[in-house]
Amino acid sequence: MATVEFQGISFDIDEDGFLQRFEDWCPEWVEYVKESEGIKDLTDEHQKVLDFLQDYYKKNGIAPMVRILSKVTGFKLKHIYELFPSGPGKGACKMAGLPKPTGCV
């Protein structure tokens, strides 16, 4: 486990750059991650995806299926990739502070 410092805050992360604890998430985390995820400017649309992922995770204990993410945000998968070039898992979930996707990924 590594620790990174950003704007005076330290985050514990794993080798893939996912937060080790959801509670450690804060807006600075998004600022810190966005460059490595190929995002220049954070828009309202980015924020909408991140907010939904966090709400869903808090309520259900899991990340939503891609179809649920699309349905609720109204963003087609193609648009989610435009927002988060690494995709909903590696990009959006990482920025939202959710645990790393598992299974045969």
Partner 1 sequence: MAFISAGYDPKHPMQDRITDIGPRKYDEFYPPVIAKNKGKWLYHEIIEPGMLMHKAESGDEVYTVRAGTARLCSVTYIREICDIADKYCGGHVRWTTRNNVEFMVEDLETAKALKEDLNNRKFDGGSHKFPVGGTGAGITNIVHTQGWVHCHTPATDASGTVKVVMDDLFEEFGAHNMPAPIRISMACCLNMCGAVHCSDIAILGYHRKPPIIDHEYLDNLCEIPLAVAACPMGAIRPSKHEMPDGKTVKSVAIKNERCMFCGNCYTMCPSLPLSDKEGDGLVIMAGGKISNRISNPKFSKVVVAFIPNEPPRWPTLSKVIRQIVDAYRTDARKYERLGAWAERIGWERFFEKCGLEFSEHLIDDFRDPAYYTWRQTTNFKW
Cβ count within 10 A of residue 81:
15
Task: Tell me how far, at minimum, the Cβ of 66 lies from partner 1, in Å.
Answer: 15
Neighbours of 83 (CB within 10 A): 20
Beta strands in 27-94 (DSSP E): none
Q: Which of residues 63-82 bind partner 1 (CB under 8 A)?
A: 63
Under rule CB under 8 A, residue 100 binds partner 1? yes
Amino acid occupying residue 75: F
104 is catalytic: yes
**Alpha-carbon separation of residue 24 from 20, 63, 90, 98 (angstroms):** 8, 17, 18, 10
3-state DSSP assignment of residue 1? coil
Count of residues binding partner 1 (CB under 8 A)? 15
Quick check: 99 binds partner 1 (CB under 8 A)?
A: yes
Which of 4, 9, 62, 77 is in the footprint of partner 1 by CB under 8 A? Answer: 62
Among 2, 4, 21, 47, binds partner 1 (CB under 8 A): 21
Give the interface with partner 1 as residue ranges (CB under 8 A). 20-22, 38, 57, 60-63, 85, 99-100, 102-104
